[in-house]
With several copies, the nearest count.
Chain A
């Protein structure tokens, strides 16, 4: 504490300069009946060295994925953030700045975010992107409220939005919380047995305010039928696609097959998983949605000398101006994490992002290969193309499998029973660019041993 408060020991001097004699004088306006009478019942202060020792002990008790053969993903992905990213993003000028209200001394972050918008725009194939929202889930939710604001009038199914039934319950819950206040009705967009969208369900959605679907879907499946969705739902229904941005290094940008809004979890670009946050949400749209977007947006402009400059723009959408009529309540967002994303993307370049996607695809390919050699394990969608992850059916519950494989140092995936009871025997197995061949071997060996045991 001593090293944090520069005026410790100078209180008397400062108080007396104001004509006061004690700290209490400065709190004389706090009515007696609301004053705290005792010391806070908390622990004593610690030094940097003690804190770091405790942090080492506590965080050391967590099990980092790198210490096991790990195949858990389900929305967050192991990646490698190039070393330069951490070293640059922790520069005090980025790290310790606030929102760039004073553009003249915030050109660095403003330009970086303008560039971020351009990188995302190019990646997803839409003309406009904001400088990120909280995460992929609130991005999905905000996309829906945005679509309703745009289409509320003309929609034939007023207030109705169709959301892919595969959307995991946690994400669904976020969407629900964000949309219920606007009187939005969420209906399920159904999928067929093979995991692809049910065309009949898509047809039903025509005339609703929006449809929300993910590509790859939460089971890792790539669905070629998405290419036709916009044509079916029509002009007045927003086609919203949630993406894993890494997949776009290899697969078509949704903006190129009719998506009106593209959202997603930006995390694999630039951010470690960090137990789920801070991460950042991607939000991009076509021009028609621009003035109803949530979040901050940077525009390029000029200064008094007509030099290129950058500033926040389209602010009249925002809470500090529009207050309860704002397009969103966003204030503090995830700029720094988006900056890490921009840095990562700028290092990758067009060929690099493709190579990264290929590495992810290849790792999953190797995993599938290995698992197909394990008797007892079946692919849930054997005919589908997958990216990053795949659902497999086990001879027992996924929960048991996860427990059993821990002894082998393997975390084999995510228990899909947590998403839906009827998937209790399904495991979502994830591979990324960071998956190592030894891990795959260990997975296959341990899985084979467990299956043999279960079946016996």
Chain B
């Protein structure tokens, strides 16, 4: 379709504005700095703009349009009332530097979220400042770094990461200045305690790990791993991207973790918006709490004359004693935290039921796929990514057999699924599973959808290789040439098209 620059309104077209408060001729402008040439932006009227973006959106796939089993991403439904709340003036038209008594409602919500997140994860304190999971990782690692500096253990310059870890784990640790020690997993995808023990010494600051792990398996040895790491004086860091699997059933605290980040946009359903925004709060045990970025929200007894939102309670900002400082200039993605607060309120203590349904749906789908595949006689074309009885909120399948037998890759299956009207599962991640498809249905998909997907998945697996290689054919464009993109970089509208 057209791009923006194909719209050719006359000069002055576009959004009409009220007159300036003072005529331009009377303004004392910095003449030597005046712009010589206007940005060569396109000129659209509102009708053209609305149609342009409407049609762009129609070339995009979201949870609202169909099943989105993207492993590790927790693509659950976004309750619609949350968007209504997020557009209220009490959030949109609020400045983070307003005095505390202007923001009691927001502070109350922050306080409630800090509390709830701490409770769910078994942590002592929480900051809501990081704006994404990766920033949360970085923040927690920075806290650990300062904690050790404070304790005079500056020699702890290394962080252990399993080979199946998400890329942000090593990237965040490296950004903070740590050296990465990668440990291999066992054959069935779980922690290799021996391999772990082998790398541990007093240069280790922390181990970063997610549980259930990237293959959707619960790390049954997690307590032992914690003990080992703690044994050499290191800290245990919990990547909360998979938190949706366990709320109310276990917690990072119970497993022995010292710090955790939450992907609010996953577990608590801030809409992903095609890549963001997110929110990545972190929770820590008491010994790390003084290092959290500030301010966090605290509460004290209200004084006479203070207009409270909760009788007798006054919410206020507090700077942690040895704070690492800030990772975002304001108070994080307050609008996202608010949506997630509304999400939390929808479940309350029944967050446990939510997690149970996430696990129920994943296991149900896994069973259904295997059953359908057996019935259709294509069960020899893929295997479980890891041997297990029960998965948690997601599971992996390896298309390695199909590749060997027919030359059909995980990517081919992914594109075939697009043609059936589904978003594809995560492909080729984790790298430890060859030809990996990683499937996470979430708790908000109906049984009927899972049944249908199982059937359709098996149908795609059974499709002839030539058709699969040519897939997709029903999408807005056919298979996109990523190599061409990288070789012929075109990152903006070409000069010739202006």
Contacts and interface: CB of A to CB of B under 8 A. Distances in A.
* Chain A directly contacts chain B within the complex, with at least one CB pair under 8 Å: yes
A104 B484 CA distance: 15
Interface stretch (B192-200, B358-366, B395-403): B358-366
Given A105-B476, A178-B175, A307-B477, A18 B363 contact: yes
A136 B329 CA distance: 8
A7 B170 CA distance: 37
Measured as residues with beta carbon below 8 angstroms from the partner, the interface class of chain A is 35 or more
A253 B39 CA distance: 9
Interface stretch (B57-65, B297-305, B377-385, B458-466): B57-65
B353 interface: yes
Contacts of B131: 134-135, 277-278, 334
B249 interface: yes
Interface stretch (B100-108, B230-238, B282-290): B100-108
A95 B62 contact: yes
Main secondary structure of the interface of B (DSSP, over half): loop
Interface stretch (A155-163, A200-208, A232-240, A347-355): A347-355
Which 3 pairs between the two chains have the least Cβ-Cβ distance? A276-B330, A9-B10, A92-B64
Contacts of A276: 95-96, 328-332, 334
A62 B106 CA distance: 7
A297 B491 contact: yes
A369 B171 CA distance: 51
Contacts of A43: 345, 348-349
18 contacts: A61-B108, A83-B83, A95-B64, A96-B271, A109-B60, A111-B3, A119-B41, A121-B491, A134-B328, A177-B325, A250-B29, A303-B480, A328-B175, A329-B171, A330-B132, A336-B275, A348-B15, A366-B21
Given A96-B78, A250-B34, A329-B171, A112 B53 contact: yes
Interface string B167-185: 1101111111110100000
B267 interface: no
Given A7-B447, A48-B15, A29 B389 contact: yes
A307 B39 contact: no
Contact of B418 (A7, A64, A105): A105
Given A7-B357, A49-B18, A301 B485 contact: yes
B24 interface: yes
A113 B177 CA distance: 31
Given A86-B87, A111-B59, A3 B46 contact: yes
Interface string B463-491: 00000001010011111111011101111
Nearest to B24: A358
Interface in A346-371: 346-356, 358-359, 361-363, 365-366, 369
Given A64-B94, A249-B35, A253-B35, A350 B349 contact: no
Given A7-B443, A278-B333, A349-B9, 17 more contacts: A39-B248, A46-B345, A49-B17, A62-B90, A63-B103, A65-B94, A88-B50, A96-B272, A138-B135, A173-B326, A224-B30, A275-B94, A276-B330, A332-B272, A332-B276, A350-B39, A359-B17
B168 A329 contact: yes
B152 interface: no
Contacts of B275: 98-100, 109, 131, 296, 332-336
Interface in B120-159: 120, 131-135, 137-138, 142, 145
B351 A94 contact: no
B274 A26 contact: no
A349 B42 contact: yes
Contacts of A138: 135, 327-328
B276 A34 contact: no
B329 A171 contact: yes
A2 interface: yes
A347 B145 CA distance: 46
Contacts of A114: 3, 491-492
Interface in B40-69: 40-50, 52-65, 68
A331 B132 contact: yes
A324 B14 contact: no
Contact of A314 (B78, B79, B486): B486
A33 interface: yes
A42 interface: yes
Contacts of B99: 402, 406
Nearest to A173: B325
B90 A61 contact: yes
A62 B367 contact: no
Interface stretch (A51-59, A373-381, A446-454): A51-59
A45 B145 CA distance: 38
Interface string B1-41: 10111000111111111101111101111101111101111
A424 interface: no
B432 interface: no
Interface in B309-364: 309, 324-336, 338, 342, 345-354, 356-357, 359-361, 363-364
Nearest to B354: A5
A145 B171 CA distance: 14
Given A5-B353, A304-B481, A331-B133, A55 B49 contact: no
B191 interface: no
A93 B20 contact: no
Contacts of A59: 85, 88-91, 105-106, 338
B189 interface: no
B247 interface: yes
A35 B45 contact: no
Contacts of B116: 42
Contacts of B176: 180-181
Contacts of A57: 105, 309
Given A2-B16, A92-B65, A134-B131, A117 B335 contact: no
A82 B171 contact: no
Contacts of A440: 21
B388 interface: yes
Contacts of A298: 491
B9 A273 contact: no
A274 B78 CA distance: 19
A21 interface: no
Contacts of B53: 84, 88, 112, 343
Contacts of A406: 99
Interface string A375-403: 00000000001000000000000000010
B445 interface: yes
Given A61-B104, A108-B57, A304-B481, A122 B40 contact: yes
Given A115-B3, A348-B14, A99 B272 contact: yes
A2 B14 contact: yes
